[in-house]
Amino acid sequence: MDLEQRLREKIDNLNKPKGSLGRLEELALQIGLIQQTLTPQLCHPVHLLLGADHGIEREGVSVSPRCITWQQMVNFTRGGGGVNMFCRQHGFELHLVDVGVDHDLSDFPQILNRKISPHGTANFLYGPAMTDEQCREALGVGSELVDDAAASGCNILSIGEMGIANTSPSSIWMSLLLDIPLEQCVGAGAGLNDEGIRHKLEVLRAAVAGFERSAHPSLSHDSQNTSDAAREILAYFGGFEMVAAVGAMLRAAELRMVVLVDGFIMTACALMASRLMPTFMDFAIFCHCGDESGHRLMLDGMGARPLLHLGLRLGEGTGALCAFPIVDSAVRMLREMGNFQDNQITKYF
């Protein structure tokens, strides 16, 4: 009997009606397979909060100015963000990382300096957001952060982001990788009105048109899901914090960690990770469906079922942190519940 069969048998014989704990049973099976054991456990949870700025912000695609990125990163050092509160509540070790914030944060030693560029990415309306070398560096930053977390005993990871305008590259990744019309992928972000959304859509359409006019031999309508095409899309439109998140997700999967996936931006990163490593989806738990336009559509396109729908759209990884107790309950069910035989209960199904 292989491990999956043994896990299913153990779950079915816990002292409860078969299937009565619903999604918890599915999560327990998934995490047992990730950790390759009948008795999984969650150890030393780590939350990576990655910050960077986006050149496309200069085009007025966000209601918030880019200074909010660095101001919020500083706020996180004081424990005043939503991400701080949820990390404290659920026992996550929080790592604040500057991957390309357009501000000097050297006065804040709590923020790890991993800047790829001092001013964030270039404006992808006029060309690639980053060079291939910068893209590799950002992927490497994410990978190294996960190695550090693993060395501390972490086997469950959540990732959040702080980067004004990052719903724009996320919408484009979603559109190109899932072949969904861009207008169905673009939403209000932090609070654009209808006119702002219309302007954002026009800017992003122009950016995609410029990308498609460029020489990209690996990109065609029928080949957008190949890893080569995905890498081109990754570098042309991505933010440094998003690419670092992809690198972290890929490395976490290689190390057989549980990856808690947050909202719209992190779901786009998970989508990208799945194009670069199809087995990534085995390690991902999609934690919530947010209110950003297109998030539900992207989750459906990935065949992902979120655990929560609370109307969240804060980002920072807060939705993933909120879902952690559910994931924890699934693991505790498998480790701590008794079975019919041990508890001398007649099996009644």
pLDDT for res 238: 98
| 338 located within any domain | no
The answer to whether 334 and 11 are in contact (CB under 8 A) is: yes
pLDDT at 257: 98
The two three-digit tokens of residue 103, written as one number: 């501000």
What digits encode the pLDDT tens for the residues 226-285?
Answer: 888 999 999 999 999 999 999 999 999 999 999 999 999 999 999 999 999 999 999 999
Average pLDDT, the chain: 93
Token pair 């738990």 in the structure block, residue: 285
Q: Among this protein's residues, is 336 annotated catalytic? A: no
Range of the domain at 155: 46-329
Residue 162 has pLDDT above 70, yes or no: yes
Q: Is residue 54 part of a domain?
A: yes
Q: Per residue in 74-84, pLDDT tens?
A: 999 999 899 99
| Number of other residues whose CB lies within 10 A of the CB of residue 107 | 8
User: Residue 25 domain-assigned?
Assistant: no
Report the pLDDT value the prediction gives residue 215, as an integer from 0 to 100.
56
pTM for the whole thing? 0.94
| CA quadruple 57, 60, 66, 72: dihedral, nearest 10 | -110
Is residue 169 one of the residues assigned to a domain? yes
**Domains identified in the chain, total number:** 1
Cα 176–chain centre separation:
18
Q: What is the CATH number of the domain that holds 321?
A: 3.40.50.10210
Residue 323 phi/psi, 5-degree rounding, is: -80, -10
Q: Which pLDDT score, from 0 to 100, does residue 30 have?
A: 98
| Alpha-carbon 24 to chain mean position | 21
Whether 348 shows a pLDDT value over 60: the answer reads: no
Catalytic residue among 144, 241, 316, 336: 316
pLDDT tens, residue by residue, 279-326: 999 999 999 998 877 999 999 999 999 999 998 888 899 999 999 999
Q: What percent of the chain has pLDDT over 90?
A: 83
